[in-house]
Structure 1
Amino acid sequence: VCDRVAKRIAEGQFDIGFQQISEIKPFTGKYGQVELVGPIPAPYQKVTVFAAGIGKNSEHAKVAKELIKFVKSPQATQIIEEQGLEQVKE
């Protein structure tokens, strides 16, 4: 069974843990049981980059392009950052 490190901390199984900020965020805040101290120093970070692609023969290319456009929008930026992720700036 694979659990989030933050879940184990919230349950009292660990005192400290390291995990992606987006995985810790749900256990923080007003009703959370975990304090997000901050990111580990930049030289030790492992960055995960997500990319989007549309199939050449996609039947939904227009909708896919609209989704990609939204993901790059200011509205999406706010949502992305609230989740502890960073939007790549072009």
Structure 2
Amino acid sequence: MPSSARELGRVGVGITVHENAPLPDISTPDAVKRTLLAARSIVYINPATGTSGKHFAQVLQNLGIAEAMKPKTTLLEGGYVVEAVGRGEIELGIHQITEILPVKGIKLVGPLPEALQKVTVYVGALTPKARDPEQARRFLAHLQTPESRQAFAKRGYMAGP
């Protein structure tokens, strides 16, 4: 049922700091590079287990700082890996924005610049074996209402094109 596919939202990768920390400059790839090199520690999800981690490891390679960052990098296995930033154990956290916003004790610096960004697109669709196709259609329609879009936006999802 490809015609039932509907984009529900997009999620980018962002950088976070402790709620009491000043916001570093991440406005350009060079600014991100300077900010990362100046940080005493960073955390992101293990590239073997998370899309944003795999992407961010490549960002470090592309910026030419992967080796310099190794001694101050912590890789975690999943969940809210940026909680360590809120506890004051790590200076910068990198994760999908939807995984940053719910965490207490931190604030979102912002999304990575477009040249470094990886956006994940979330889509909903009916399956051929849906038990109640009409109810599934109504649910998909509900997820596209202005109220649902607003709820998604509060949680870090961007609207698609």
TM-score tier (shorter): 0.7 to 0.9
Which TM-score applies when normalising by structure 2? Answer: 0.49
In structure 2, the partner of 1:26 is 102
Partner AA of 1:54 in structure 2:
L
Identity percentage over the alignment? 26
Matched residue SS, 2:102: helix
TM-score norm. by structure 1 comes to 0.83
By relative contact order (CA 8 Å, sep 6+), the higher-ranking structure is 2
CA drift of 1:5 comes to: 2.6
Pick the aligned partner of 1:17 from 69, 72, 93: 93
AA aligned to 2:97 is I
The letter of the residue matching 1:8 is A
Instruction: Say whether 1:83 aligns with 2:161.
Output: no
Q: Computing the radius of gyration over CA atoms, which structure comes out larger, 1 or 2?
A: 2
| Equivalent residue, structure 1, for 2:136 | 64
Number of aligned residues: 85
Question: Aligned-pair RMSD on alpha carbons?
Answer: 1.5
Query: Using the alignment, how far apart are the partners of 1:18 and 1:63 within structure 2?
Result: 38
After TM superposition, the structure 1 stretch with the greater mean CA deviation from structure 2, 4-13 or 66-75, is: 4-13
Matches of 1:79 and 1:26, distance apart in 2: 13
Give the counterpart letter for 2:131 in structure 1.
E
Aligned to 1:50: 122
Which string of whole-angstrom CA distances, capped at 9 and with x for unpartnered residues, describes residues 19-77 of structure 1? 111111112xxxx3112111110111111111122122322111110111011110001
**Structure 2 portions without partners, runs of 5+:** 1-76
Counterpart of 1:5, as a letter, is: V
Select the structure that is richer in strand: 2
Give how far 1:79 is off: 0.2
Measure, in 2, the Cα distance between the counterparts of 1:6 and 1:84. Answer: 15
Flag structure 1 segments of 5+ consecutive residues without an equivalent.
none
Change (3 A) 1:58 1:5: closer
Is it true that 1:4 corresponds to 2:91 in the alignment? no
| One-letter amino acid of the counterpart of residue 21, structure 1 | I
Partner of 2:141, secondary structure, is helix
